[in-house]
Amino acid sequence: MGTKAWVRSHTPPTLLRGYRALRSRQTGAAVPGERLCLDGDFASWEEACEASTGYAADIILERTKAALLQVKYGNAVYERDSVLFDEIQYAWPLLAGLMWIAAQDNGRLNVLDFGGSLGSTYFQNRGFLADLPEVRWNIVEQPRHVEVGRGFFEDEQLRFYASVDECTAHTQPNVIILSGVLQFFRDPHKTLTDLSSLGCGHLIVDRTPFWNGPTDRLCVEHVPEYIYPASYPSWIFSTRRFRSHIEESWVVAAEFDALDRLPGPVECTFRGMIASRREPV
């Protein structure tokens, strides 16, 4: 199973306040090139790709690595999308979900973090996870991310794999995390179906854009040039359609607002949910 092409970059500290303002503002017109935003209504993935610049993966990966090494060695407190912050911005519902899942499995937490970069969510929450009797965090990513992850970040708790099959051949996760990833797939519903077939007991979705329309809307996400010049296809999911798909395999225990705020062509909100596997009838 393939993994997402994901865009991240490292921003100099002097730009952090401007970046925070962009991430926290939800209202206002989408202005490609000036604001982080979603734009457009594309008929196909190919059309959205033609209207975007792509991913520049090698540069972004190196900047991601540099930012997270600062966190790993204690020179920075927190990283999100390769941006360094002076305090951790916790996704409290996600953390509560992880603790709830571990509590149901005698303190065991075994995560499949699909498209988890070099460990952003792991490093965000590791302080709270440290007292659990067993933690294993498995990231499934692109091959170059796996190479860098294994070379610079892997340890007894944090592991990297190039495919879901490779991961599950070594360990059996009890939770799948999809944090800010599904919207960047050509066919996100197939990806969700494939992951739902793995047999993991729980699923956490976070940092995912939704709107109240009847169908998913295909846009292009633009990143301001002063952060890094990039744009790439991104879905805004129909809440009704996504919830219907989730409920085929999962029982949703809770829904919550995510940290992200992006202006777009329709009113959308970034949301998350915590779900348990539906018992077979």
Give the three-state DSSP class for 183.
Answer: helix
Task: Using pLDDT thresholds of 50, 70 and 90, give the confidence band for residue 52.
Answer: very high
Q: Which two tokens stand for residue 203?
A: 């699923």
Ordered structural domains, the chain, with CATH: 41-53+91-220+232-277 (3.40.50.150)
Residue 113 contacts residue 137 (beta carbons within 8 Å)? yes
DSSP letter for 84, please: E
- Residue bearing the bigger pLDDT, 266 or 225: 266
Amino acid at 107: G
Q: Inform me whether the pLDDT recorded for 25 exceeds 50.
A: no
Residue 272 burial (C-beta neighbours within 10 Å; 0-12, 13-18, 19+): buried
Residue 273 contacts residue 255 (beta carbons within 8 Å)? yes
- Residues 22 and 34: their CA atoms lie apart, in Å, by 10
**Where is average pLDDT lowest: 79-93, 146-160, 232-246?**
79-93
Task: Using pLDDT thresholds of 50, 70 and 90, give the confidence band for residue 245.
Answer: very high
Residue 81 contacts residue 227 (beta carbons within 8 Å)? no
Q: Which two tokens stand for residue 157?
A: 């708790």
- Residue bearing the bigger pLDDT, 253 or 62: 253
Q: Inform me whether the pLDDT recorded for 116 exceeds 90.
A: yes
Share of the chain above pLDDT 90, in %: 70
Length of the chain: 281
**pTM score:** 0.86
**pLDDT attached to residue 173:** 98
- Return the sign of the alpha-carbon dihedral for residues 116, 121, 126, 129: negative
Q: Inform me whether the pLDDT recorded for 60 exceeds 90.
A: no
Residue 180 contacts residue 260 (beta carbons within 8 Å)? yes
Q: Inform me whether the pLDDT recorded for 247 exceeds 90.
A: yes
Average pLDDT over residues 182-196: 97
Residue 21 burial (C-beta neighbours within 10 Å; 0-12, 13-18, 19+): exposed
Q: Inform me whether the pLDDT recorded for 63 exceeds 50.
A: yes
**pLDDT attached to residue 34:** 62
**pLDDT attached to residue 8:** 34
- Residues 265 and 29: their CA atoms lie apart, in Å, by 8
